[in-house]
Structure 1
Amino acid sequence: MRRWLAVLTAATTSLVLVALLVPLALLVRTAAESGAAERASAEAESVAVAVGAGSGDAVDVETLRLTAERAAHPTTVFLGDGRVVGAPADRSAAVELASRGRSVTAAVPGGREILVAVQGAPGGTAVVRVFLGDGELDRGVTRVQAGLLALGLALVGLGVLVADRLARAVIRPVSALAGVSHRLAGGDLAARTVPGGPPEVHAVGLALNHLAERITGLLAEERENAADLSHRLRTPLTGLRLEAESLSDPEEAARIEARVDALERAVTAVITEARRRSRDRGECDAAAVVGDRVAFWSVLAEDQGRSVELELSPGPLPVAVAAGDLAACVDALLGNVFAHTDEGVSFGVRLAPAPGGAVLAVTDAGPGFGTAAPLERGESGAGSTGLGLDIARRTAESSGGALALAASPAGGASVTLFLAAPARPGA
């Protein structure tokens, strides 16, 4: 913006100065030529007086010669009897015209002739010629025009300097606003700006602070609502636990109680996560977490007659995802397999190291994705909430990785996540 304003100011100032200084420069040249012509005409008139002062029918030639030599410019007197006194000069057509009694000014190569006719001089009409060279006509013009050019450049530079100072006064608060907006986008909800600059920029600063306050309030309200909603689940969980304890089969009761405990831990994690002000990126051993969750789902897979193909790289395999988040991601992906494929459909889980992190792939032999946009949050082709793949995507992106969807070799769905490794100091 500073450069744009400087260029705009320089262009505008230049146009104004050209419109003013070019006519002024031409006027200076015209004034210099007119002044030189007036001075030469005055010299010619003084010599003409000497010519007309001749006594009787004779002209004092010696006096005329001395007068012509003392003149500041080359002066020639053409007498009526054909004699020439003073500086040598040709009898041009302009001299012939002046000899008829008409004073003229004529342009000749190298300068200008000032011709004054002296009627009634002894011997007939005489002509006084004063020659002005181009140097005399332009004397001082170049110096004045150079001064005008220097003045114009100085004014342009001053205008650019003033525009730059004004631009800095506007850009500084705007840059501060941009910095605060980037901090807010990065999750620093405490970022605020100090309004300053022109009234319009000051108003934008106040609006940005108000927006930040509003965002902070809405997020706090949303966290509390999510925590309250999750907390309400504890009551039915307590009832479910009591029902499990009343079962007559001890093994069945223990199995259901274990499931209730897992669900309660999940609800507790949701409440804790909802009340956290920001999501701090953690890290975990992906091999341990994935192995634990696959072992958990393998029990249900065995009940449904599903075969499980597990390719698990030996740990530790650190990734930049908290253990709870990665476990929720694996549960969401495997839950999709059980929810959207028939019993007996096989699936596979593969975890392998990769440059800069690890690759987690979950495949199945089911019908594939049920919607054209499976990553669209809330979109599902099987009547579910449509949040599973979005949870996996956000988990991968939170680590600095990504998620990719494709068809599995068996014709079903394939979900591949790249999980970035934790950043180490100095790496």
Structure 2
Amino acid sequence: MRRWLTLLVAATTSLVLIALLVPLALLVRTVAVSGAVSEAESEAESVAVVVGAVDTETLRLTAEQAEYPVTIFLPGGEVVGAPAPRSTAVELASRGRSVTAAAPGGREILVAVQGAPGGTAVVRVFLDDGRLTRGVPQVWAGLAALGLALVGLGVLVGDRLARAVIRPITALAGVSHRLAAGDLSARTVPDGPPEVHAVGLALNHLAERITGLLAEERESVADLSHRLRTPLTGLRLEAESLADPEESARIEARVDALERAVTSVITEARRRVRERAECDAAAVTGARVAFWSVLAEDQARHFTLDLAPGPLPVGVAADDLAACVDALLGNVFAHTPEGVSFSVRLEATGGGALLTVSDAGPGFATPDPPRRGESGAGSTGLGLDIARRTAESAGGSLSLRTSPEGGASVVLSLPAVTPQKP
């Protein structure tokens, strides 16, 4: 935009200067020609005064001393002074009429001298093109230099004005990118022309509104999650009243896990800015697979766990990665029949870690990942979305594949820990 504004100013300045300097240049040429013709006419009249009053030799000396080439056509046909052809204009002037006519290489000034012995004499003064336009090229060069200087000045001023407009617009774009990246504290200092200033105020107002709406949403989620504590408390009491101690302990463990999940939801909902997070992927994955192994034994599911030697730091919070592994393993238990085997593999890569959860079930109904809130298996469709958002929020990715057994395989790319800038 800055370049376009500068070009616009340059084009406008150039058009104005052309409209001004071209007529001025033509006027300068006209004035120069008019002055040269006036001087030549004065020279011819001064010579015409002595025609008929002096002899031929004196006329020749007078013609030779003139500033311009002077030719005197006497009535008897004699020619005194500079050689010149007897043109049609000379014939016209010999009839008693002074004229100015164009000639090859210039212009001739003809003055008729009546009363000379033997008839009418004609004094001819020749002006070549150089004398007609003497000084005009220099003036034109000066005007061109002046025009270029004014165009350059206009471009410089236009560039400064464009910078004054572009700078606040660039700042607005930077603030909008920061807001899009999740930095809700980003604000702009309104500056520039009134219209850009108004846009800055509107962007700040929009940022405040977004911050308020997100705060309301977080509190709503936190309140909704907090309401789950009451039925959880009732469930815990029911578990404690069971006669079988082992059954009671197992249900209480599940209630504890659910309560931790609810607490995590509340904490995450009220967290304003995501902090720098990292965890040991090997430790977290191993712990969550150990948790699910109890249910796998109850359902006669054979599973394999292949963990890379830890510690394996990744740029994901431990709670987020645990929720992600739970979501993937939960899908295996929810969407495959009992007795179907599965495997969990965590391997180190140059840029972090690769987590693969595979099963020997029926696989995905479609090759495309289910969208959030949709599922072809009658579920909410949020499990894979949780895993995807966990990976993408840290700079990773999720992909769906077919396992070697023909079932589903979910591959989660987890980025390495990004070092903090000093």
Assess same fold via TM > 0.5: yes
2:191 to 189, 192, 196: 196
CA contact (8 A) 1:312 1:350 kept: yes
The aligned residue for residue 348 of structure 2 is 353
Deviation of 1:40 after TM superposition, in Å, equals 1.0
2:250 to 239, 255, 272: 255
Per-residue CA deviation, residues 342-381 of structure 1 (Å, 9 max, x unaligned), is 2222221111111111100111222222456534211211
The aligned amino acid for 1:341 is T
Report SS of the residue matched to 1:337: helix
The aligned residue for residue 9 of structure 2 is 9
Distance in 2, matches of 1:359 and 1:373, equals 20
Per-residue CA deviation, residues 130-183 of structure 1 (Å, 9 max, x unaligned), is 111222111111121122112212221222232223223222322222232233
CA contact (8 A) 2:70 2:81 kept: yes
Report SS of the residue matched to 2:158: helix
The aligned residue for residue 390 of structure 2 is 395
Distance in 1, matches of 2:129 and 2:84, equals 17
Compared with structure 1, are the counterparts of its residues 217 and 425 closer, same or farther at alpha carbon in structure 2 (3 Å cutoff)?
A: closer
Structure 2 residues not aligned, in runs of 5+: none
The aligned residue for residue 70 of structure 2 is 75
Deviation of 1:299 after TM superposition, in Å, equals 1.6
Distance in 2, matches of 1:368 and 1:25, equals 85
Report SS of the residue matched to 2:183: coil
**What are the equivalent positions in structure 2 for 1:204-215 lying under 5 Å apart?**
204-215=199-210
Matched, 1:379 2:374: yes
Report SS of the residue matched to 2:119: coil
Per-residue CA deviation, residues 210-252 of structure 1 (Å, 9 max, x unaligned), is 1111111111111111111111111111111111111111111
- In angstroms, what is the RMSD of aligned CA positions? 2.0
Distance in 1, matches of 2:396 and 2:60, equals 105
Distance in 1, matches of 2:368 and 2:205, equals 36
The aligned residue for residue 298 of structure 2 is 303
The aligned residue for residue 28 of structure 1 is 28
Per-residue CA deviation, residues 88-128 of structure 1 (Å, 9 max, x unaligned), is 33434543443344433333333222222333421233221
Distance in 2, matches of 1:314 and 1:191, equals 41
Distance in 2, matches of 1:389 and 1:90, equals 106
Name the TM-score, length of structure 2 as normaliser.
Answer: 0.94
Compared with structure 1, are the counterparts of its residues 189 and 426 closer, same or farther at alpha carbon in structure 2 (3 Å cutoff)?
A: closer
The aligned amino acid for 2:221 is A
The aligned amino acid for 2:28 is V
The aligned residue for residue 267 of structure 2 is 272
Distance in 2, matches of 1:399 and 1:185, equals 15
1:219 to 214, 235, 238: 214
CA contact (8 A) 2:346 2:353 kept: yes
Report SS of the residue matched to 1:231: helix
CA contact (8 A) 2:367 2:400 kept: no
Distance in 1, matches of 2:409 and 2:367, equals 15
Per-residue CA deviation, residues 245-278 of structure 1 (Å, 9 max, x unaligned), is 1111111111111111111111111111111112
CA contact (8 A) 1:371 1:380 kept: no
Distance in 1, matches of 2:115 and 2:312, equals 124
The aligned amino acid for 2:378 is G
Deviation of 1:327 after TM superposition, in Å, equals 0.5
The aligned residue for residue 412 of structure 1 is 407
Matched, 1:325 2:320: yes
CA contact (8 A) 1:281 1:399 kept: no
Distance in 1, matches of 2:76 and 2:263, equals 132
Report SS of the residue matched to 2:71: strand
1:230 to 200, 205, 225: 225
Matched, 1:185 2:186: no
Report SS of the residue matched to 1:280: coil
Per-residue CA deviation, residues 302-324 of structure 1 (Å, 9 max, x unaligned), is 22222212222121111111111
Matched, 1:87 2:70: no
Structure 1 residues not aligned, in runs of 5+: none
323-332 or 25-34: bigger deviation: 25-34
Distance in 2, matches of 1:273 and 1:5, equals 48
Report SS of the residue matched to 1:119: strand
CA contact (8 A) 2:172 2:200 kept: yes
Report SS of the residue matched to 2:116: coil
CA contact (8 A) 1:365 1:412 kept: yes
**What are the equivalent positions in structure 2 for 1:105-124 lying under 5 Å apart?**
105-124=100-119
Distance in 2, matches of 1:89 and 1:209, equals 87
Distance in 1, matches of 2:341 and 2:134, equals 104
Compared with structure 1, are the counterparts of its residues 210 and 329 closer, same or farther at alpha carbon in structure 2 (3 Å cutoff)?
A: same
CA contact (8 A) 2:401 2:410 kept: yes
Deviation of 1:329 after TM superposition, in Å, equals 0.2
CA contact (8 A) 1:319 1:399 kept: no
For this pair of structures, how many residues does the alignment match? 422
Distance in 1, matches of 2:421 and 2:198, equals 42
Distance in 2, matches of 1:374 and 1:267, equals 27
Name the TM-score, length of structure 1 as normaliser.
Answer: 0.93
Deviation of 1:288 after TM superposition, in Å, equals 1.1
Report SS of the residue matched to 2:372: coil
Distance in 1, matches of 2:176 and 2:268, equals 25
Residue identity (%): 80
The aligned residue for residue 37 of structure 2 is 37
1:167 to 162, 176, 184: 162
Distance in 2, matches of 1:380 and 1:405, equals 14
The aligned residue for residue 46 of structure 2 is 46
Distance in 2, matches of 1:424 and 1:207, equals 35
Report SS of the residue matched to 2:153: helix
Report SS of the residue matched to 1:264: helix
